[in-house]
Amino acid sequence: MKTVDHVQAEELFSSYWDEDLDPETQKALEEHLKTCLVCRREYQAFETTVRSVEGLHKMSAPGHLAEGVKDRIRKRSKGRFFAPRKLSERVPYEVVSLLMLGLLLAVYVVLQLAQPAQLRLP
């Protein structure tokens, strides 16, 4: 049966944690950890360390990161890429059409109100 000593045991901690050991070596390490208090404590410290790193919460990118990237590309490409969008690209055509219709209606109403009242012919 395969056995491991203290030095070998420590060398196997990562592979054991990552489930990357062949069954025979894994069994040998587990047997050693059962009987060796020092190695068992070392492995527990190792395990706690790796769990701590795995447990670091995931940082979120700041909300303006993408805008910052586009700014950089725009500056370095001298405006060739990610140039500010024209008004016609930012505002939908439907909205522009409605606004124009509204404006025309307003002009018509104003002109109608501005005309003097017409006399009715008998």
5 to 44: interface string for other proteins, x by CB under 8 A = -----xx-xxx--x-x------------------------
What values do phi and psi take at 21, rounded to 5?
-100, 150
* Binding range to other proteins, per CB under 8 A, among 22-30, 54-62, 92-100, 111-119: 54-62
75-87 burial by CB neighbour count: b if 16+ within 10 A, else e? eeeeeeeeeeeee
Q: Identify residue 27 by its one-letter amino acid code.
A: K
Distance CA 7, CA 23 (A): 19
Among 3, 6, 65, 100, binds other proteins (CB under 8 A): 65
Q: From the list 5, 24, 69, 97, which residue makes contact with other proteins (rule: CB under 8 A)? A: 69
Closer CB to other proteins, 73 or 101, in the complex:
73
Q: Which stretch binds other proteins (CB under 8 A): 31-39, 66-74, 101-109, 113-121?
A: 66-74
Tokens of 56: 């670091």
Work out whether 82 is an interface residue with other proteins (CB under 8 A). Answer: yes
Query: Contact with other proteins (CB under 8 A): which of 50, 100, 104, 106?
Result: 50
Q: How would you classify residue 78: left for phi > 0, otherwise alpha for psi between -120 and 50, otherwise beta?
A: left
Measured from the Cβ of residue 26, the count of other Cβ atoms closer than 10 Å reads 16
